[in-house]
Amino acid sequence: MTNKFLTLSRRILSIFLSVALLSACTAPPNAPATPSSAGYERYRADDLTMQKEFNLFTDDLFREEISNSGISFHFTIADPASRGFDTVPLTLGDFSLDKMKNNFKDLMELKKKLTRFNPRKLTSDQRLTYQILYSYIDTELTSEGLELYSQPLTSTIGIQAQLPVLFAEYAFYSREDVDHYLSLLSTIDDYYAQIMEFEKKKSEAGLFMSDSAADHVLKSCEAYLIQPDHNFLAETFNSRIDALNDLTADEKAAYKEKNLKVLEEHFVPAYKNLIDGITALMGTGKNDKGLYWYPDGKEYFEYLVNSNTGTSYKSITSLKKAIEKQMNSDIKALGQITKEHPQTLDQLETYTFRYTKPEEILESLKTQITADFPELPPCNYTVKYVPEALESSLSPAFYLVPPLDRYEENTIYINGNPRFQNDDLYTTLAHEGYPGHLYQNVYFLSKKPSDIRSILSFSSYSEGWATYVEFYSYSLDNGLDPELGKLLAHNTAVTLGIYAYLDICINYEGWDKEQTGKYLSNFYKVENTDIVDTIYSSLVENPTNYMEYYVGYLEIMEMRNTAEKILKDQFNLKAFHTFLLDIGPAPFSVIQPEFRNWLAKELRNG
């Protein structure tokens, strides 16, 4: 499998207020839907043997995968010894074209090993893991030959923007963690050199980013050219060192000096070299439009949609129609609200939420969601603010997924940049905290799933859930006029839907900036060319980023609407939410059959 950095949660920025892809994975052989009629499962001796072998298979896979990157390893397991690890990988990984090509050979071998198991002999949880792994492998194999279309460097979600934040949050549980941290940080210049070699190959193939996109990445890199003693990585390092009890004052001072030296000799040069490398390649990227305009761009977009959304739709055309349908539903609801409650329009510029401080908001959300969501085990959270030097290059807010053996400890970052001051912090923290990312991750990890499932990234499930509950939070007792809350929720959904819709139009159908501007002007009265430019460049530089959010929201809403329609008075919102949370991160092509089983069970029980 491709080694991926831990994904930081991202939120969209609503710029204005108005108002599957070619083939989902084929079903694996001998993989029936999970039985839903029996209240228990019965197995023969050979079944139990296969179940044990499957656990060994997934455990070995987990150990192999997290050993590819020291950052991923540390953010996945806080106590390596508890999982039988006696060594820690001191590398950021191998980001090379050869490695990517070899990954496909590994995936084919992994698929062979997986299909040796008969899903009928596995437990229901193992069967689900089997389906998820099979879908994941099949999807990733469709990108073979398209390796150079990968985009490791983008303005706010690229490796160069995310990696320093992960270093800033690298927890020090012991002296050994400090040594591992400094070793990893010392390799950042070599790692970025690998990325630049990859970018040179992209350039040679005519696939390098446009000058506009390069300018955005350069600005992101410049934010890290900070003198070591004023670098946020020095500040965060010092505070983590000071909190360790097993170091003397002299040892702490020595570590602080060593960190400054690493920042000076490796970290800052790494960003200088990135800047020099990107600058040297500027002018070689000839395409300033969407993926459609590259030789295999449409094919790569199909892969991205499948990989990043896991949609249950069989083609991009059918997915686009579903997006239009959901958008029309939200637009219709907007019209109904403004017609029946015209006063809500007068409140758009003056409304405020009852709570404005992060801790007050999170505690209010935690209390209010108990009626519609299952109970969480005890956990805690820390709210932090993005370092000022990074405010211009990072998202409005994000959540860091905790190690699977310390899921009780959670961190949410808020970006204090003035350009985000109009974002509603209440709904932002519903997205990042309760009942969003924090809640979903704590719930899932507290169920002690197979370790392999904790590292398989299905961002559309995670972001779709967080987006869905963000919209849900507008309906809570939050200080808003209830009708205004509904209006804001539907409007935000439409805004995000426009991004998802245009993503397809630009990257799959080849729309240029002029066509995009006409669409926004004709349908949403957006005449500001700066807004059009911002939307267009964002979708060109980050294909399917917004679709991860919207398609996940769309799939969840479709399941909920179906359940409400079929179950009628039997529908229970908490039961529906519990079903989605119990399934955990997975492609929607895998979730949908499980949903149908759940629905049938609810009907029988009613």
Report domain extents, the chain: 159-291
Strands (E), 312-396: 380-385
Q: What is the pLDDT at residue 157?
A: 87
d(CA 192, CA 275): 11
Q: What is the rounded CA–CA span in Å between residue 513 and residue 533?
A: 7
CA dihedral 582, 586, 588, 591 (to 10 degrees): -40
List, in sequence order, the alpha helices (H) in 173-248: 175-185, 188-204, 211-222, 232-242
What is the reported pLDDT for 349?
Answer: 87
pLDDT at 11: 28
pLDDT of residue 333: 96
Rounded Cα gap, residues 149 and 202, in angstroms: 8
Rounded-to-integer distance, Cα 429 and Cα 353, Å = 12
Q: Is 448 left (phi over 0), alpha (psi -120 to 50) or beta?
A: left
Tell me how far apart the alpha carbons of residues 551 and 535 are, in angstroms, rounded to a whole number. 18
Write down how long the chain is: 606
Instruction: Report the pLDDT value the prediction gives residue 393, as an integer from 0 to 100.
Output: 66
pTM of full prediction above 0.85: yes
Per run of 10 residues, the mean pLDDT along the chain (length 606 residues) is 30 30 33 42 80 96 94 94 91 95 95 96 96 96 97 91 92 95 98 98 97 95 90 93 94 97 97 98 95 98 97 97 96 96 92 92 96 96 85 81 93 86 85 97 95 92 97 96 96 96 98 96 92 95 96 98 96 98 97 96 88
The residues pairing with 413 across neighbouring beta strands, listed in sequence order, are: 384, 398
